[in-house]
Amino acid sequence: MNNLMAVAEVIKKAQRPLLCGHVMPDGDSLGSVLALGLGLQRLGKEVTLVSSDPVPDLYHFLPGVETVIVGEVPEGDYDLLVAVDFSVPDRLGSALHAFVKNGLPVAVIDHHVNDHPFGHYNYVRTEAAATGEIIMDLLDLLQIDLNLDLAINLYTAIVTDTGSFRYENTTSETHAKTARLLECGVPVSRLSNYIFGEQPLVLLRLLEAALGTLEVSDCGQIAWMSISREMVQSAGASGQHIEGLINYPRKIKGVELAIVFRELDEQRVKVSFRSKYQVDVNLLAKKFGGGGHVRASGCTVEGPLEQARELVLKEVKEFFREGSDGRHP
Amino acid sequence: MNNLMAVAEVIKKAQRPLLCGHVMPDGDSLGSVLALGLGLQRLGKEVTLVSSDPVPDLYHFLPGVETVIVGEVPEGDYDLLVAVDFSVPDRLGSALHAFVKNGLPVAVIDHHVNDHPFGHYNYVRTEAAATGEIIMDLLDLLQIDLNLDLAINLYTAIVTDTGSFRYENTTSETHAKTARLLECGVPVSRLSNYIFGEQPLVLLRLLEAALGTLEVSDCGQIAWMSISREMVQSAGASGQHIEGLINYPRKIKGVELAIVFRELDEQRVKVSFRSKYQVDVNLLAKKFGGGGHVRASGCTVEGPLEQARELVLKEVKEFFREGSDGRHP
């Protein structure tokens, strides 16, 4: 049964629904829960919004975010749990498990691939770029009109899960729905600035220093940067500013494998790998006792920085040269 | 007279139209010219597409781009010049000036602020996020159906001029029109990679040098970078790599106004302005004989670089200080 109408019906009947997104909430999860929650309040329902994990600072601008209860579920005579943007019980978070175990009816609304969603009522639409798109249809079914607060939440859901309409999941319907949201007065550039736009000055100072170490292999397919503790310190930066820097070598035209060497202390160097299309960097990181995903991985090797770099690059070039098992770009 | 129907009529009557975008072509200028050009060819017209400046490598994927004639205008019995995405004769480029002087009728289609467009037939719609949006309406008036080639050009026009739907100019209509384009099968993620995903190595070399000149005002609201010809040369870069650099100062947290000073030659410095929320940079650029949009504008001032910077920054700080008429952030 994959029926949005049935989900709408059970939600319509509920008087005291409990709404939640998934653990480690993102823009789609939060925006979708908040839009639905604010909408159901307008129908006179007693809505409780919970999140197992804290709301990232980035999303503190979302209308209604102050009503989200974090980390626990208050006592209450709930008559329905609405699980939004996930469909496996693993992503419920511990506080909510007990309610499900005790037989609270569950309605699931999601866009992630899952043939066996865990709700009593389920609606999973994998073609939706964001769960926010489905929530818009649900609000229509419930005859809840959009307003600016709902639109900001739904816009955030869509813009984050599509990477600002750039990912493959973006469809004609995504844009048609976004057109409706903008009619409510969504302040596009302000939200874009909140979500994508702002960088601390220290990050640019660190970037400048990091770019000074950028090297590219003769073949043009491997690019790397090295970040010493001294560089981080004199830029006034910290660990959180280093994470995204690997995107700079990764984005270079023709580069397949990007590496960042980061000095942790005199003995240890953190090595991050990213590949674009072909190299299995999980396999590569495993050679140094690390791991991760096919396109993003990491490991920690012995320092000092220059020695670690030399060791890893030698191995990487060999890995490229082998290229016998589809790892060669 | 600001009448798209009249522009459509004169284009409909033309048999051998000459189409051009502005000097230093960008995604909107090229995508709009190509979409209109390919469309008019389908009506059986003998269309000639010219560009005063070379097409940046980035845009070599645009359908029909190989038909654009660069730097000169072939002899021909043209009966109309269609100027797309600009409305001041300065942005024609030298090769086209002669034709205008000799009395070739001119139709102008643009979205930049200009009360006195230079055409005999003009249509300027400043509410359009991109000239590509206007071209879509024009194609509708001319009863030219969209196809994938047209849609890719128009999508590129819109996505570049809105910064992937993030800038303030993005409207409900922008998304509604993009929804129509995606129905034609635009390969969103592939184009996003072309347009936003890959950077040539020389761009990062230039970025490093540019970041070395980054300064922020004491108030933290004005940030600027200076790009000399020597920097561009030693990075192995060219003009096309400079365009996006202003986003780095613009993105700094707390910065309202970003400026890039670019040395064109010993006498001239190109100054680009971007603002986030409040400063009207069109007004600001006008103080130096330039113009543009409220959040993005530019002008050319007398060099050398240091002198231009000093002059402009003095004026800018005064402009900030005045802040009497809503321009103060």
Q: What residues of chain A lie within 8 A of the CB of B202, using their CB?
A: none
Q: What residues of chain B lie within 8 A of the CB of A253, using their CB?
A: 198-201
Tell me whether residues B179 and A175 touch, CB distance under 8 A.
Answer: yes
Tell me whether residues A252 and B183 touch, CB distance under 8 A.
Answer: no
Tell me whether residues A198 and B164 touch, CB distance under 8 A.
Answer: no
Tokens of B160: 């570049």
Q: What gap in Å lies between CA A63 and CA A74, rounded to an integer?
A: 21
- Output the pLDDT for position B152: 98
Cα nearest neighbour of B191 on chain A: A166
* Burial class for A208, CB neighbours closer than 10 Å (0-12, 13-18, 19+): buried
Cα nearest neighbour of A197 on chain B: B251
- Output the pLDDT for position A168: 82
Q: In which residue ranges of chain A is pLDDT below 70?
A: 1, 323-329
Tell me whether residues B170 and A179 touch, CB distance under 8 A.
Answer: no
Instruction: Note the pLDDT tens digit of each residue in A163-175.
Output: 899 988 899 999 9
- Output the pLDDT for position A1: 65
- Output the pLDDT for position A124: 95
Instruction: Note the pLDDT tens digit of each residue in B312-327.
Output: 999 999 888 776 444 4
Cα nearest neighbour of A207 on chain B: B208
Does the model's ipTM exceed the 0.90 cut?
A: no
Tell me whether residues A189 and B196 touch, CB distance under 8 A.
Answer: no
Tell me whether residues B188 and A173 touch, CB distance under 8 A.
Answer: no
Q: What residues of chain A lie within 8 A of the CB of B167, using their CB?
A: 188-189, 192
Q: Mutation test of the interface with chain B: which of A146, A160, A164, choosing the one with the most B Cβ atoms within 10 A?
A: A164
Tell me whether residues A208 and B204 touch, CB distance under 8 A.
Answer: no
- Output the pLDDT for position B326: 43
Domains of chain B: 4-196 (3.90.1640.10), 201-322 (3.10.310.30)
Tokens of A24: 């480690």
In contact, A149 and A63? CB cutoff 8 Å: yes
Alpha carbon A213 to chain centroid distance? 30
Instruction: Note the pLDDT tens digit of each residue in B241-297.
Output: 898 899 999 999 999 999 999 999 999 999 999 998 889 999 999 999 999 889 999
3-state secondary structure labels for all residues of chain A: CCCHHHHHHHHHHCCCEEEECCCCCCHHHHHHHHHHHHHHHHCCCCCEEEECCCCCHHHCCCCCHHHCEECCCCCCCCCEEEEECCCCHHHCCHHHHHHHHCCCCEEEEECCCCCCCCCCEEEECCCCCCHHHHHHHHHHHCCCCCCHHHHHHHHHHHHHHCCCCCCCCCCHHHHHHHHHHHHCCCCHHHHHHHHHHCECHHHHHHHHHHHCCCEECCCCCEEEEEECHHHHHHCCCCHHHCHHHHHHHHHECCCCEEEEEEECCCCEEEEEEEECCCCCHHHHHHCCCCEECCCEEEEEEECCHHHHHHHHHHHHHHHHHHCCCCCCC
Q: What residues of chain B lie within 8 A of the CB of A223, using their CB?
A: 201
- Of B165, B189, B198, Cβ closest to residue A168: B189
Tell me whether residues B188 and A165 touch, CB distance under 8 A.
Answer: yes
Q: What is the least distance, in Å, from the CA of B179 to any CA of chain A?
A: 4
CA distances from B312 to A32, B269, B277 (A): 46, 11, 20
Tell me whether residues B188 and A170 touch, CB distance under 8 A.
Answer: yes
Provide the number of CB pairs (under 8 Å) joining chain A to chain B: 120
Tell me whether residues A208 and B208 touch, CB distance under 8 A.
Answer: yes
- Output the pLDDT for position B1: 65
Q: What gap in Å lies between CA A51 and CA B101, rounded to an integer?
A: 68
Q: Mutation test of the interface with chain A: which of B158, B188, B206, choosing the one with the most A Cβ atoms within 10 A?
A: B188
Tell me whether residues B252 and A198 touch, CB distance under 8 A.
Answer: yes
- Output the pLDDT for position B324: 40
* Tens of each residue's pLDDT in chain B, 329 residues: 689 999 999 999 999 999 999 999 999 999 999 999 999 999 999 999 999 999 998 899 999 999 999 999 999 999 999 999 999 998 998 889 889 889 999 999 999 988 999 999 999 999 999 999 999 999 999 999 999 999 999 999 999 999 999 999 999 999 999 999 999 999 998 898 889 878 899 999 999 999 999 999 999 999 999 999 999 999 999 988 898 899 999 999 999 999 999 999 999 999 999 998 889 999 999 999 999 889 999 999 998 999 999 999 999 998 887 764 444 44
- Output the pLDDT for position B329: 40
- Output the pLDDT for position A276: 82
